[in-house]
Structure 1
Amino acid sequence: MPHLVILYSGNLDRPEAEGGTDMRALCRALADAMLTIHDEGGRQVFPTGGTRVLAFPAAHWAIADGGDAGEAAGMGRDYAFIYLNLRMGRGRSAAVQKRSGGALEAVARQHFAEQLSRRPIGITVQVDEGPEVFDAKISSLHPLFTPLRST
């Protein structure tokens, strides 16, 4: 299951020269980071075939005071926001959960470093663990990453 869902203000979809970002590159970097996380026993935490990063822009948004403070600080009125929510299944240790959040935070911080230095932008990284009441998985992806077993 590891799903990382990203919600963001639609102004980040503009070209980079106009204050946007390459969301596809961010998604790939986040997925790659997830695949490097290991538990205390050295096992990969997130299965390759189950790792998904999905990003959705908001068509409409309102952030903070609408730009007054940014304007007063000389950073402009063009606020942006990005929310990253990692949902993982139960059973992983608190250390693995924190390591996962820290890895995602590091990627987001690096990806948005230039923007953070010049414009008002908020980034939230949240890790949730679910008590699922129903959890069905249908996949033809997982077999691609599972070693063949001899019978």
Structure 2
Amino acid sequence: MPHVVILYTPQLDAETDVGALCRSLAGALQTVHDEAGQRVFPTAGIRVLAYPAAHHAVADGSGDHAFCWLNLRMGRGRSAAVQQAAGQALAEAAKAHFAPLLARRPLGLTLQVDEGPEVFDAKFGNLHSIFQKR
């Protein structure tokens, strides 16, 4: 962890590079440090996944209103300062990415940060070993 899930109205696919947004958000998470100056999130644990909504109604459902919801979920145990820093880093990256769209069209953006508690948490695979060699 951390995992960022992006849910957005599908007309944004024609207006912005959602893949570039995902990469930008992943990069932003790599810049988050704790109070001791240590990086908070391991590179191999970062996930950013984006999904266009097949069906949607934004605001009153009329018009071509666009929306993007970004949700960061992180494991428990990080300080409030780290949680705020992670949220701020993602907000800045999202604002920079969406600035051209905000200048020309109605677009709602929401960013939420959530933390555990997990009732079951199993992690397995080989991604971490790839990044430990670097």
TM-score tier (shorter): over 0.9
1:1-151 aligned within 5 A = 1-14=1-14, 20-67=15-62, 77-146=63-132
Q: Kindly provide the CA deviation profile for residues 59-97 of structure 1, in whole angstroms up to 9, marking residues without a partner as x.
A: 111000234xxxxxxxxx321000000000000000000
Q: CA deviation at 1:44?
A: 1.0
Instruction: Kindly name which structure, 1 or 2, has the bigger radius of gyration based on alpha carbons.
Output: 1
CA distance in 2, matches of 1:97, 1:79: 30
Q: CA RMSD in A?
A: 1.2
Aligned-residue offset at 1:145: 1.9
Aligned to 1:74: none
- Structure 1 stretches (4+) deviating beyond 3 angstroms? none
Measure how far apart 1:146 and its partner are: 2.2
Find the residue that maps to 2:103 and give its secondary structure.
helix
Residue 17 of structure 1 aligns with which residue? none
If the length of structure 2 is used for normalisation, what is the TM-score?
Answer: 0.95
Letter in 2 for 1:57: P
Q: Which string of whole-angstrom CA distances, capped at 9 and with x for unpartnered residues, describes residues 43-71 of structure 1? A: 1111101101000000111000234xxxx
| Unaligned segments of structure 2, at least 5 residues | none
3-state DSSP of counterpart to 1:81: strand
Counterpart Cα distance in 2 of 1:78 and 1:105: 24
What 5-or-longer segments of structure 1 have no aligned partner? Answer: 15-19, 68-76
For residues 137 and 42 of structure 1, the distance between their equivalents in structure 2, rounded to whole angstroms, comes to 26
> Which fold has the larger relative contact order, with Cα–Cα distance below 8 Å and residues 6 or more apart in sequence?
2
Which TM-score applies when normalising by structure 1?
Answer: 0.85
